A = this chain, B = another copy of it.
């Protein structure tokens, strides 16, 4: 997938952009073709880029007492960034890495702000993305708040039926806030309640 196609897919999936804005975005963004398992953000770095996943999968995770805890998965047409670092301009608590071979579009915060000032439509695009993210986080809190592990898992499966084929179970488990063993049991046909 080339840069034009990627930008086109952002427009299709999120918000219309005028011709000059698309050109401008073209000049101010970068395509990354990455293998599976490549780290694009490391803990402690100032992560001032957003990534649009054109193809593949990426995840954000952090280490809590040495344990790897997944915090966000991004599939095709999703955005991913270290949200604390990007928005608060602090060292990233997160790592971000590819889970499959992926094509990403990287855009710098400075460029995002420039484009937002220059094009109203781009500003709106940003608003849409942030709003969607907020709603997705809200859903996740509701899912975690008072459900059993099994309900939480099935809830995730209904939103993303292909997730178990694309993301290792250990990452799904930590994302759900349960252990790998519990997830394994939940998935087993002989599991009751």
Within 8 A of B (CB), among A138-193: 138, 140-142, 144-146, 174, 177
Interface pair B144/A177, CB less than 8 Å apart: yes
Give complex CA distance A64, B141 in Å.
Answer: 14
Judged by a CB distance under 8 angstroms, whether A87 is at the interface is: yes
Interface pair A177/B127, CB less than 8 Å apart: no
Q: List residues of chain B with CB within 8 A of the CB of A174.
A: 145-146
Judged by a CB distance under 8 angstroms, whether A8 is at the interface is: no
Judged by a CB distance under 8 angstroms, whether A88 is at the interface is: yes
Judged by a CB distance under 8 angstroms, whether A16 is at the interface is: no
Within 8 A of B (CB), among A36-90: 62, 64, 67, 69, 71, 83-84, 87-88
A side interface size, CB within 8 A: 27
* CB of A133, distance to nearest CB on chain B (Å): 5
B62, B123, B138, B140: the one contacting A123 at CB < 8 Å is B123
Give complex CA distance A64, B155 in Å.
Answer: 15
